[in-house]
Amino acid sequence: MRFGVLGTGVVGQTLGGKLVSLGHEVTMGARQAGNEVAAGWVKAAGGSASEGSFADAAAFGETVMNATAGASSLDALAAAGAENLEDKVLIDVANPLDFSGGLPPSLTVGNTDSLGEQIQRAHPKAKVVKALNTIAAEVMVEPGLVPGSHTVFIAGEDDGAKGQVRALLQELGWPAKDILDLGSIAASRGTEAYVTLWLRFWAAAGTRAVNIKVIAG
């Protein structure tokens, strides 16, 4: 499958690299084509990796991943172009973190709204699925770094799109039973807010490889 991965940070590089290693074609998008980090990633990833602008990557992808910093995601997606996102699954991995007050960060949007919802409203023809925003990049593509069974969330308006993301998550190594569908994209309020707790687990656990397992009685 063809993927457009927006964002050249650790999350974009890690997800993009894993997708290439799985045999997918991936274009990494940056603010401008020829981005140095993206070019380095292309070399390292090999295979069918390529790079370009946000619009290049979005146009290339049958599925698009938003792996930009949350504070600039709406700008990045505007630059990607609504026409390049139309009818596509748009996996939103970002968190609206605000580092201006120091660590741990607070959120730039939350409580009665979320980044996932903002993105869906800004791109009503894209099929936004919030996913993977609750775990560190290395765990996203190698769930076994956290021992035993643990949970990854999906949320979005379109059941078909969520089905595709479910399949992709399984390809990344997530057992089907560990994928929890929280319903509509408004559930992003919950998963994004949770990130402010999860970041505190890093300090308590002494590792970024920390996740939760949801257990019901």
Radius of gyration in angstroms for the set of CA atoms belonging to the chain, rounded to a whole number:
16
Choice from 7, 16, 110, 116 touching its own copies (CB under 8 A): 110
Which long-range contacts (C-beta less than 8 Å, at least 24 apart) are formed by 196-205? 196/104, 196/105, 196/106, 196/107, 198/134, 198/135, 199/103, 199/104, 199/105, 200/104
48 touches its own copies by CB under 8 A? no
Gap between the Cα atoms of 211 and 217, Å rounded: 20
Choice from 46, 121, 160, 213 touching its own copies (CB under 8 A): 213
Q: Which is nearer to its own copies, 43 or 215 (CB)?
A: 215
Q: Which is nearer to its own copies, 55 or 212 (CB)?
A: 212
Choice from 103, 112, 176, 177 touching its own copies (CB under 8 A): 112
Q: Which is nearer to its own copies, 64 or 161 (CB)?
A: 161
Tally Cβ neighbours within 10 Å of residue 77. Answer: 27
Q: Nearest 10 degrees: CA dihedral of 187, 190, 192, 193?
A: 160
Encoded one letter per residue, x for contact with its own copies by CB under 8 A and - for no contact, window 134-163 reads -----x-----xxxx-xx------------
176 touches its own copies by CB under 8 A? no
Choice from 87, 101, 176, 177 touching its own copies (CB under 8 A): 101
Query: Please, what is the minimum distance in Å from the beta carbon of residue 78 to its own copies?
Result: 25
102 touches its own copies by CB under 8 A? no
DSSP string for residues in 28-78: EEESSTT-HHHHHHHHHH-TTEEEEEHHHHHHH-SEEEE-S-GGGHHHHHH
Tell me the one-letter amino acid at 140: M
Q: Please give the residue ranges that form the binding site for its own copies (CB under 8 A).
A: 101, 104, 106-107, 110-112, 139, 145-148, 150-151, 180-183, 187, 189-191, 193-194, 196-201, 203-207, 209-217
